[in-house]
Amino acid sequence: MDQYPSIDYRLLVDNLTTAILLIDSDLNIFYLNSSCEALFDISLLRAAGQPVMNILHAPNDGFNTLDALTNSLKTGQAYTRREATINVNFKDIHVDYSVSQINTDKPYHPLLLIELNPIDRMLKISKEESLTQQHQITRQLIRGVAHEIKNPLGGIRGATQLLARSLNDPQYTEFTDIIISEVDRLRNLADTMLGSRQLPSYELVNVHEPLERVRSLVANQTKKKIKIIRDYDLSLPEVKADRDQLIQVMLNICVNAVQAITENKEFFVDHQPELILRTRIQRLVTINGVLHRSTIRIDIEDNGIGIPQEVVESIFYPLVTTRAKGTGLGLSIAQNIMHQHNGMIECQSIPKKTVFSLYLPWESNHVT
């Protein structure tokens, strides 16, 4: 063995990205490496000697971990679990893990070795990828439908005008006026469905500029009935973006927030309606499968009624709306614009706290 350099195995294990957990024959924690400490947010010092089930705690996972570990100790049989759920600090995380037995001649034998790989980042990437794909397909579908609606409208409008002129009877022009105004409404809708035809023009933008524009628009519109709180990090760098499109994104989101507040006045019995505009630097954000070192985060938060959990996932799809007069296009257009900027919008909502976060990468070199 002399030809091999001597290796500090403890150092090696501590530098692995795989989380390593060793448990003794009483199912108590014997050792965990640094990655495992980080995964469970616990130090070896605190964890050693504790029952392993204290940290492999999984109330939302139908699997009986305790039985499986006991069985593995008894029979020596290894096993692997994929996409297992474990609960760390009241938060579910997903891991792949393998359990195998190590026989040692030390008094605490046999030991069980558990190797864990957190997969949340991977899960999130594949979920995001499929969402983006679905989103693009629906966008194309919507544009196709919008074109088909729009094409005959010009003809209908022209023919109706001719008809109105030849009828020359006020009794009938009332009907032709209805046709024309409904045709105009449909054309506006089709135009919104088609989205902006202009190519984005990118320039260096300080995001506070469009944000302030939107703030003053909203403040004027709501006549100060909604308190608007600004919480800006003024040291943010400028980003390459299309200023007008950013305004549209922020406006679409703010308008939704204002509507959620004004259309549900009865919800505000014990608190005042508020809109918070917040800007921050957010490090290490994965957008569309790319991990960005640093992004600008713009939060638009309201303390309205909120969005039910089962709806949150679908609100970015076109035509998804809960409002009688809604088109369901506002968020889909906003998300589309953010994708064109290599960014994204995320939403988290509970009653009295709905936050739409816009992420814009600003560093050109990203980590992969």
Ligand X SMILES: Nc1ncnc2c1ncn2[C@@H]1O[C@H](COP(=O)(O)OP(=O)(O)O)[C@@H](O)[C@H]1O
- For position 304 contacting ligand X by CB under 6 A, the verdict is yes
Distance CA 219, CA 225 (A): 8
| Crossing angle for the helix pair 243-262 and 208-222, to the nearest 10 degrees | 30
273 binds, among ligand X, Mg ion, none (CB under 5 to 8 A by kind): none
- The answer to whether 248 contacts ligand X (rule: CB under 6 A) is no
Query: Where does this chain touch ligand X (CB under 6 A) — which range of 162-170, 174-182, 191-199, 254-262?
Result: 254-262
Q: Is residue 323 close enough to count as binding ligand X by CB under 6 A?
A: yes
Partner touching 260 among ligand X, Mg ion, none, CB below 5 to 8 Å by kind = ligand X
Q: Which residue has the tokens 């889909």?
A: 332
Contacts (CB under 6 A) with ligand X, residues 163-182: none
Distance CA 256, CA 278 (A): 17
Identity at 334, one-letter amino acid code: A
Gap between the Cα atoms of 247 and 308, Å rounded: 27
Residues 260-289 that bind ligand X (CB under 6 A): 260
Q: Min. distance of Cβ 248 from ligand X in angstroms?
A: 12
Distance, in Å, from the CA atom of 338 to the CA atom of 347, rounded to the nearest integer, reads: 14
Q: Site for ligand X (CB under 6 A): which residue of 307, 337, 344, 358?
A: 307
354 lies in the binding site for ligand X (CB under 6 A): yes
d(CA 47, CA 31): 8
Residue 307 interacts, among ligand X, Mg ion, none and using kind-specific CB cut-offs from 5 to 8 Å, with: ligand X
Check binding of 335 to ligand X (CB under 6 A): no
Candidates 72, 256, 336, 357: give the one binding ligand X (CB under 6 A). 256
Phi-psi category of 27—alpha, beta or left, where left has phi over 0 and alpha has psi -120 to 50? left
Q: Biggest alpha carbon distance in the chain?
A: 109
Tell me the closest approach of the beta carbon of residue 352 to ligand X, in angstroms. Answer: 11
Determine the Cα–Cα distance for residues 157 and 183; give it in Å rounded to an integer: 7
Asked if residues 241 and 262 have their Cβ atoms less than 8 Å apart, the reply is: no
Q: Which is nearer to ligand X, 110 or 328 (CB)?
A: 328
Pick out residues in 80-99 that bind ligand X (CB under 6 A): none
Regarding 321 and contact with ligand X (CB under 6 A), the answer is yes
Minimum Å distance from CB 357 to ligand X? 12
Q: How far apart are CA 90 and CA 329, in angstroms?
A: 35
Q: Give 148 or 313: the residue with its C-beta nearer to Mg ion.
A: 313
Q: Count of residues for the chain? A: 368
Kindly state whether residue 35 participates in binding ligand X, applying the rule CB under 6 A. no
Task: Look at residues 19, 40, 124 and name the one whose alpha carbon lies nearest to residue 88.
Answer: 40
At 367, list the tokens: 């980590």
Q: Which is nearer to Mg ion, 119 or 247 (CB)?
A: 247
The answer to the question of residue 257 lying near ligand X (CB under 6 A) is yes
Q: Which of helix, strand or coil describes residue 107?
A: coil
Please pick, from the candidates 227, 322, 350, 353, the single residue that binds ligand X as defined by CB under 6 A. 322
Give residues in contact with ligand X (CB under 6 A).
Answer: 252, 256-257, 260, 302, 304, 306-307, 315, 320-323, 326-332, 354
